[in-house]
Every structure is written in structure tokens, then in C-alpha cells.
Amino acid sequence: MMYFTLYSRTWCHLCDDMLQALLALVGDGYRVDVIDIDADPALVEQYDELVPVLQGCLPGLPPQTLCHYHLDSAAVQQFLDLPAVHGDGRRGD
């Protein structure tokens, strides 16, 4: 099932803004995993100044980075349209 991963930080207002904008766009029909990059030095090295970073995830495909800093609603919508191509369900339970 498709879901989203948001790489974030505590006290990051852009991270909070992106999460709220994403939830407003997709509602509660999709799983959103929020990962605090400061809990993992490898993630800090990878995403440090890019957070927030939003990835879309579908089984069998590598995660797709959709946007960083601000929500790109067009990129999210394009990702949401992928299950029609791949035949996957929409919910990420």
C-alpha cells in the first residue's frame, strides 16, 4: 500500500507546516510516517539542511522524493495517481 515518509526535526516550523499541509491534502486515508532525522546520524548527514523532505512510497518501488522545504501539492497528486497505473490500493494501512 502507498504511504508517505516525512523526514523532519523537532522545533522545525517548516516540518510542522508540511505535515499539516499534507494531512489537509490527503486526509486520513494514507499512512504518514514522521521520522526525526536527529535520532540517526546517517539521516542527519543525508537530509540535514533539506528538511522537511517528503517521500512517497509504494511496495516494490524505491521511495520517491516528492518535495522538500514546502509541500508540492502537484507532485503529491501525481504520486497519488500512481496506483491506477500499478494497480495498488490507495490506503497505506
In this prediction, residues 3-31 reach a mean pLDDT of: 95
Give CA–CA dist 4/58, Å, rounded.
Answer: 9
Q: What is the distance between the alpha carbons of residues 45 and 33, in angstroms, rounded to a whole number?
A: 20
pLDDT exceeds cutoff 60 at 92: no
Question: Domain of 65: which CATH number?
Answer: 3.40.30.10
Which pLDDT does position 43 carry in this prediction? 98
Note the pLDDT of residue 1.
85
For residue 29, the enclosing domain spans 3-51+59-81
pLDDT tens digits, residue range 20-70?
Answer: 999 999 988 899 999 999 999 999 999 999 999 999 999 888 999 999 999
Query: What string of DSSP letters covers 59-71?
Result: TTS--EEEEESS-
Cα gap 71→19, rounded to integer Å: 8
Provide the pLDDT for residue 38.
98
Asked whether residue 89 is domain-assigned, the answer is: no
Contacts of 69 (CB under 8 A, 6+ apart): 14, 18, 50, 52
71 in any annotated domain: yes
